[in-house]
Amino acid sequence: MKGNIVYIAIAAILGVASGVQRFHSLHAIAISGYFFFLLLRKHLLFLPSLCAIVLFFLYTNSIERHNTTILPQDKTEFTVRFISPVMIDGDRLKAVVRTKEDEAVQLLYRLKSEQQQHELSQLAIGMVCTFRGNLEKPEPPRNFAAFNYRDYLHFQHIHWLVRPQSLSLQQCQHTPLTMYEKLLTVRQQGLRAIVDLFPPASAGIVQALIYGERTELEEDLQVGYQKLGLIHLLAISGSHVTLLVSACFYALIRFVTRETATIVLLLCLPVYMVLTGASPSVVRAVLMAMLFLILRYQKSSMVPLDILSVTCILMLALQPYALFQAGFQLSFIVSFALILSITTIAQHHSVFVRLSLTTFIAQVSALPFVLYHFFAVSLFSIPLNLLFVPLYSFLILPLSLLSVGISSLSLTVGAFFIRLLNGIIVATNELVIFLAEKDPFSFVLGRPSSVFLCCYGVAIVWAFRRMEQGKFQAFLYVALVAVWQASWPYMDKYGEVVFLDVGQGDCIYIELPYRQGVYLIDTGGAVSLPKQRWQIRTSEWDVGKQVVVPFLRAKGVRELTRLILTHGDMDHMGAATEVIQQIHVRELAIGKGAINETLAPVIAMAKKQHIAITELQKGDTWKVGNASFFVLHPAPTVSTSSDNNRSLVLYAKLGPLSWLFTGDLEKEGEQQVLSSFPHLHADVLKVGHHGSETSTSELFLQTVTPKLAVISVGKNNRYHHPHQIVLERLKAHHIPVLRTDEHGAIYYRYTKKTGTFMGMVP
C-alpha cells in the first residue's frame, strides 16, 4: 500500500474545496469522476477516501459557518491588543490587532506627522491600546482578476478594517507576551538587524532567504523575478530546509548521538517555522522534515510520496484555507511531480541533465497554477533556473547565513562577507531586471477558464505517464493546450466593453468579437498630491500596475490595436506609460491639438518604442467587421481654453447598441458637438467628466436620449462626483445609471444581436 496515501490526500482536498466554496456542478463532476476512478483502479481505497472527503467537508464547512464577526458595525470604542508586527510604510501604519471581544481585525491608520511616525514606530506586539475609531468592511474585488482582499482577510478570520481617529503611545501599555509572540518579536529584531547591517540593494534578498520576508524588496525586482519564473528562489522552500537540517544534523552528531540530534532538530524546527514566517512552502518543508526525522528515529520508513501526502492532510487539518493560497498549490504540485519523476531523473548520470530535467518537470507541473495566478509564462525560466538555482543554493544562501552569523560575532569580519555578498546580489538583481525587460520568450496567455485548467491537467498527467516510457514528445500535448488557450479569443464570437474601476478616472476596454481589435480608451491614473519625504511609501498605489496591466494580462491581451487617450488629464492618461511599457501597442491615438505637458512624455515614449501616433479629429472613422467608430470631436478649428472641452469624443456601434464616449467633455464642448450633429443619438452614454455639474446638460440629454448612462467615478472621491444635479437630471429623463463607485467594473458582453450588462460588485 506504499504510495497510496496520496489518494486520501486528494479526497481531503476535494472535501475542503467543497466545504469552503458554494457547491456547484464542477465539484460534483470532480468528485464523481474521482470516485469512479477509484472504483475502477483502486477499489480498496474507495472507503477510506470517502471517509476523508466527508470528514474534511463537514470539518471545513463547520469552520466556514463559524467564520463570522461578532462585532457591531456601529462600534466606535476599541481596546485592542497588537498580535502581529506593526508595519509602517510612509504615512501608513497597519497591523493585525485583537479586540477585547477576542476577534481579530485589520488596523489601518494614516500618520499625521513625521513626529508621530517616529513615535508610533515604538508600537510592538503585545501592546494594548484604547482609541475611538470606525469599522469598515473590506472591499471585494472591483475588477476582473483583481486581488481579493476580502477573501484574503476572511481566510485569516478577519472581517473588519478598523480606522482609529487618533493613535498615540499614551493610549497604549505593554502586556506579557506569549511564546509565539516572543518568537515573532525575535523575527522582527532579526529583520531589523539585516536592514542595519546590509546595504538597501541586498537587504531585501537576505531577509527573503533567511526569514522569508519580501517587504523590503523593490517592487520592480519582485516583478522581474516573477516574470522570469524565479520567484521561488526568494521563498523558504524544501531545498532551504533540507540544506539547513542536513547541515545541523551532521554538525550535531559530532557532539551528541544521532537520536539526541534528531530530538534537538524536532524541537527546533517548529521554532524555525515561526521565525521564517510560516508560509505554506515553509510549513510543508518543515512538516516533511519532521516526519522524516520521526520515522528515522523510530527506525521506520515511508516513501516520499506518502510523507508529502500526510503533510498535505496535516496542513489542511490545521488550516483548511491554506488550500486557496498560491504558495500552497505551487509547493505541493511541484513536490508531487518531482517525487513521481525521481526515477526518471535519477537514471541520468549527468548532473546537468538531472538539473535540467528537474527544472523542466517543475515548470511544466506548475504551468496551470502559474497561469491562473500570474497570467503568463516564460520559456526563458528553464535555462535561467539552471543558472540561478545553483547560484542561490550554493553561493547566495550560504553567504547570507554566513554573513549574518559572523556579523553577530564580529562586525569587522562580517563586513567583508557583506561586501562580497552585496556585490553578487547587486549584479544578480541587475541581470534579472535587464532580462525581465528584454525577455523575448514571455507569453501572456491570460487566466485559464475551468475548461482549460482541466485540459492542462489531463495533458500534463498524460505527458508525465509517457515520459516514464521515455517518450518526451508527449509534452507537445501541453504545448497544444497552451496554443489553444492563446488562440481561443480569436475564435470567440463574443465582444466586450468594460468600464474598469480605476478610482477617480476613466479606462474603457473594448474587445471586438473574434478579437478583431482591442482598444483601450484612456488608462486612468491617480492625481498625486505633493508629499513630504517621510510620507512617501515604498510601494505607492499605481493604477497601471495594480489594475490596468493585470486586467489586460488576465484577458490574455498581448497587443492593443489602439490606445486612445481622450485628453491630457492625469486621471485619464496617468497610467499610459505603464501600459506602453508592459503591453505592445500598435497605435497611439490622441485628439487633434491635445498635446500638453502631461501628454508629452507619453508621446516621447511612444516614439521611442516606434509606436504609430495618430491625431484624430471630427470626421475620422474606421470600421472593423460589424463594429464602426466615428470621431465627433474635436473639430479642426475648435477653440477653447479648457483641456476638457478638447476631449476626444467617440461614437461607436458595438453589437446591438450605439455608444457615446465623451471623455471630460463639458457644456461648451457638448454644444459644439450638437451644433455639428444635431440629431445625435446613442443607446449608452459615458457621462462626461465623472458626473460633474459642468457636464451632461439638459439639452445634451434631450438630444442624445440614452437608454443607459455609465459614470466612471472614484468611491468617496474628494470632488464629490457625481453631482446631485446630474443624477437628478438623469433620473428626470428616466435614464438608468451604472456607476463604478457603486458597481465596480461594469461589463457588457455582446454578440451581433444581443448583449448583457454586469457589475463586479453586486
Tens of pLDDT along 111-129?
999 999 999 999 999 999 9
pTM for the whole structure: 0.93
Q: Cα(390)–Cα(428) distance, rounded to whole angstroms?
A: 13
CA-based nearest residue to 502, from 150, 741, 219: 741
For range 224-244, the mean pLDDT = 84
Q: For residue 369, is pLDDT > 80? A: yes
Q: For residue 21, is pLDDT > 80? A: no
Helix (H) or strand (E) holding 162: strand 161-164
Q: Cα(604)–Cα(656) distance, rounded to whole angstroms?
A: 38
Helix (H) or strand (E) holding 689: none
Q: Cα(93)–Cα(121) distance, rounded to whole angstroms?
A: 9
The pLDDT of residue 23: 67
Q: Cα(27)–Cα(7) distance, rounded to whole angstroms?
A: 17
Burial class (CB in 10 A: 0-12, 13-18, 19+), 191: buried
The strand pair at 612-616 and 621-624 is best described as: unpaired
Q: For residue 499, is pLDDT > 90? A: yes
Q: Cα(169)–Cα(133) distance, rounded to whole angstroms?
A: 16
The CA-based angle 257-262-268, given to 5 degrees, is 125
Tens of pLDDT along 707-732?
999 999 999 898 999 999 999 999 99
The pLDDT of residue 638: 62
For range 369-386, the mean pLDDT = 91
Question: H-type helices in 549-637, by residue range?
Answer: 549-554, 570-573, 576-582, 600-608
- The neighbouring-strand residues paired with 672 are none
- The DSSP letter of residue 691 is G
Task: Name the region of 757 (left: φ>0; alpha: ψ -120 to 50; beta: rest).
Answer: beta
CA-based nearest residue to 240, from 282, 202, 274, 278: 282
CA-based nearest residue to 688, from 734, 650, 742, 736: 650
The pLDDT of residue 639: 64
CB atoms within 10 A of CB 71: 15
Amino acid at 403: S
Tens of pLDDT along 561-606?
999 999 999 999 999 999 999 999 999 999 988 778 889 999 999 9
Tens of pLDDT along 432-464?
998 888 777 788 999 999 899 999 999 999 999
For range 185-203, the mean pLDDT = 93
The pLDDT of residue 692: 95
CA-based nearest residue to 292, from 345, 238, 337: 238
Helix (H) or strand (E) holding 120: helix 114-120
The pLDDT of residue 65: 94
Q: Cα(494)–Cα(492) distance, rounded to whole angstroms?
A: 5
Query: Of the ranges 22-36, 153-167, 584-598, which one carries the lowest mean pLDDT score?
Result: 22-36
DSSP one-letter string for 613-664: EEEE-TT-EEEETTEEEEEEE--TT---S-SGGG--EEEEEETTEEEEE-TT
For all residues of the chain together, what is the average pLDDT? 92
pLDDT band for position 631 (cuts 50, 70, 90): very high
Q: For residue 1, is pLDDT > 60? A: no
Helix (H, G, I), strand (E, B) or coil at 694: coil
Burial class (CB in 10 A: 0-12, 13-18, 19+), 273: buried
The strand pair at 684-686 and 708-711 is best described as: parallel
- The DSSP letter of residue 545 is I
Backbone angles phi, psi at 167, to 5 degrees: -150, 135
CA-based nearest residue to 163, from 108, 91, 110, 113: 108
pLDDT band for position 333 (cuts 50, 70, 90): very high
The pLDDT of residue 240: 80
Q: Cα(514)–Cα(488) distance, rounded to whole angstroms?
A: 9
Q: Cα(250)–Cα(252) distance, rounded to whole angstroms?
A: 5
Helix (H, G, I), strand (E, B) or coil at 530: coil
Q: Cα(79)–Cα(130) distance, rounded to whole angstroms?
A: 4
**Residue pair 629/623 in contact by the 8 Å Cβ criterion:** yes
Rg of the chain over Cα atoms, rounded to whole angstroms, equals 29
Helix (H) or strand (E) holding 222: helix 219-227
Q: Cα(221)–Cα(215) distance, rounded to whole angstroms?
A: 12
For range 380-387, the mean pLDDT = 88
